[in-house]
Amino acid sequence: MLSVLTRFFVIICVVLVAAYITLTLWGVEFAIAACIFVISIPLIYAYINLARLRRYILEDSLENMPLPSGFWEEVFFRLQRLIRNLKQRIRNIEQQHEHFIEAFQASPNGIVMLDENDQIEWCNSIAEHFFGLVFKRDVMQRINFLIRRPEFVQYLHKRAFEEPLLLERMGPDGNLSLMLQAFPFGQKRHLLLVQDVTDLQKADAMRRDFVANVSHEMRTPITVLMGFLETVQTIELPKDQQDQYFELMMAQAQRMKSLVEDLLTLANLEANTLPASTSVIKVETLMALLKNDAEALSQGKHAINFETHTPMNLLGEEREIHSAFSNLVSNAIRYTPEVGSIRVSWGVNEQGQGEFSVTDSGPGIASEHLPRLTERFYRVDRSRSRDTGGTGLGLAIVKHIANRHQGQLIIESVPGRGSTFTLRFPKERMANQ
Ligand SMILES: Nc1ncnc2c1ncn2[C@@H]1O[C@H](COP(=O)(O)OP(=O)(O)O)[C@@H](O)[C@H]1O
Ligand SMILES: [Mg+2]
């Protein structure tokens, strides 16, 4: 490749030689015409190439332009390479950008990028869902015009972003609790991270309720017990009255013992996250045990029937299954008034699932209570439950045990007619032996 100066020098030489030859052969006019002709050839060639260059630039396809020969080849070749490299770099940056966007979109948290005026530069779809934003519509809008909750507006205004902010009753249905925090980045920009803490808040509320409930349940028998103790200590009572007091004290102590036992059972069940074992439980033997206990508890006040419709046995944790079954049976006895009837049955349904059910002719339960019966300490009639020695934890325990055996607790009840509590176990938990 010749350098530009060499090319220029060659052209000048050619022009001078042409001028000299024409001057000696045909005179001055011809010599000038020859000079102009020789000079105009590269100019015309340059013009043609520049016109092509302009056309390809306008079409944004410079990389596809066929290369001319000679001096312009190198210029265009380098230009093409430059454009190709630049376009590749832009593509890489775009790809990286897309990856970042995809990663932010995949985040389970809401992300909003705010500029120095708190205008939304970008937000992911979770943030759109949390705050009812539409990115295309709301881009570059000030966020405090769109999220108008006073505590949020104040949070933005105060700029004390070291602490997160809890927003309750958010989301499209107003049932979400959101924890948000702003983090500074870049030039006075802020990244708003928003986390859905609804479940955590619920768990926290449940824990608080639970502690309050336990304290309340314990306080009542302790207070009664202390009252009796004081009386016995301070007043000289006749022997028979003293015995009666001791009996009442024993009943209160018994109530606390049942409560603590049920709490421990529940805690053990909750701590054990593994599914229940698959030891064979001889249901027939279990039914006989339940029958004995039921008759002792009822003391002949109810007509109790035990029916075993299948020789199939259950695979599970015997102690737990016994506890679940006897909870249902004792509930039926305790809540069914005298002369009521109770039917306890074990069988297999058409789908091959095992079903243990307890039907009573008791007072039944209104439908609004049914979904809440398995909550800890939930009772339809608090005083009746206490009078019969209930802790309010029985059905919570039953449900846990059912879950650990991949089973279900189904409650059907008609007020005034009676209730049926069924424990349904999957086919896989049934055994022939
Ligand atoms: N067979 C039943 N008939 C009527 N109500 C029942 C029956 N079984 C349970 N219940 C209702 O469900 C509530 C919760 O039962 P459970 O968890 O066993 O607690 P409790 O210790 O009060 O028996 C009871 O307080 C009672 O109101
Ligand atoms: Mg109970």
Long-range contacts of 205-210 (CB under 8 A, 24+ apart): 210/376, 210/377
Which atom of ligand 1 is the closest one to the Cα of 390? 21
**Residue 424 identity:** R
316 & 424 share domain: yes
100 occurs within a structural domain: no
355 & 219 share domain: no
Q: What is the CATH number of the domain that holds 242?
A: 1.10.287.130
311 & 179 share domain: no
CB distance 333 to ligand 1 below 6 Å: no
Residue 84: per-residue pLDDT: 92
The number of CA neighbours under 13 Å toward the Cβ of 113 is 11
98 occurs within a structural domain: no
Q: β-strands 303-308, 341-348: how paired?
A: parallel
Domain boundary among 220, 244, 271: 271
Domain boundary among 30, 57, 90: 90
Please give the Cα distance from 399 to 389 (Å, whole number).
20
Tens-binned pLDDT, residue by residue, of the chain (433 aa): 556 688 778 878 888 888 888 888 888 888 888 888 888 888 898 899 899 999 999 998 888 888 888 778 888 899 999 999 999 999 999 999 999 999 999 999 999 999 999 999 999 999 999 999 999 999 999 999 999 999 999 999 999 899 999 999 999 999 999 999 999 999 899 999 999 999 999 999 989 998 999 998 899 899 999 999 999 889 888 989 989 999 999 999 999 999 999 999 999 998 988 889 999 999 999 999 999 999 999 999 999 999 999 999 999 999 999 999 999 999 999 999 999 999 999 999 999 999 999 999 999 999 999 999 999 999 998 777 777 778 899 999 999 999 999 999 999 999 999 999 999 999 999 998 7
Q: β-strands 189-196, 408-414: how paired?
A: unpaired
The model carries a pTM of 0.69
99 occurs within a structural domain: no
426 & 284 share domain: yes
Query: What is the best residue among 331, 365, 393 to mutate for testing ligand 1's pocket, by most ligand atoms within 8 Å of CB?
Result: 331
For residue 360 the two structure tokens come to: 């009573």
Please give the Cα distance from 414 to 429 (Å, whole number).
30
The number of CA neighbours under 13 Å toward the Cβ of 417 is 6
CB distance 418 to ligand 1 below 6 Å: no
266 & 292 share domain: no
391 & 324 share domain: yes
From the list 279, 287, 285, 277, the residue with the least C-alpha distance to 405 is 277
267 & 405 share domain: no
Please give the Cα distance from 98 to 90 (Å, whole number).
12
Nearest CA to ligand 1 atom 7: 331
Other beta carbons within 10 angstroms of residue 214's beta carbon come to 16
Q: How many domains does the chain have?
A: 4
CB distance 376 to ligand 1 below 6 Å: no
Domain boundary among 196, 216, 236: 196
Q: What is the CATH number of the domain that holds 305?
A: 3.30.565.10
238 & 117 share domain: no
Residue 412: per-residue pLDDT: 97
Burial of 112 (0-12, 13-18, 19+ CB in 10 A): buried
427 & 293 share domain: yes
Nearest CA to ligand 1 atom 23: 390
Please give the Cα distance from 341 to 362 (Å, whole number).
8
85 & 153 share domain: no
102 occurs within a structural domain: no
Asked if 236 contacts 274 with a C-beta cutoff of 8 angstroms, the reply is no
Please give the Cα distance from 355 to 408 (Å, whole number).
10
Nearest ligand, measured from the Cα of 395 = 1
For residue 137, give the H/E element and its range: helix 135-138
Residue 394: per-residue pLDDT: 95
404 & 286 share domain: yes
Which atom of ligand 1 is the closest one to the Cα of 374? 17
What range defines the domain where residue 261 resides? Answer: 205-271
311 occurs within a structural domain: yes
For residue 407 the two structure tokens come to: 């089973």
Nearest CA to ligand 1 atom 1: 332
For residue 161 the two structure tokens come to: 């972003």
Residue 2: per-residue pLDDT: 59
Q: What is the CATH number of the domain that holds 122?
A: 3.30.450.20
Residue 189: per-residue pLDDT: 94
Please give the Cα distance from 346 to 307 (Å, whole number).
6
CB distance 373 to ligand 1 below 6 Å: yes
328 & 414 share domain: yes
The b-or-e profile of 253-275 (16+ CB within 10 A means b, else e) is eebbeebeebbebbeebeeeeee
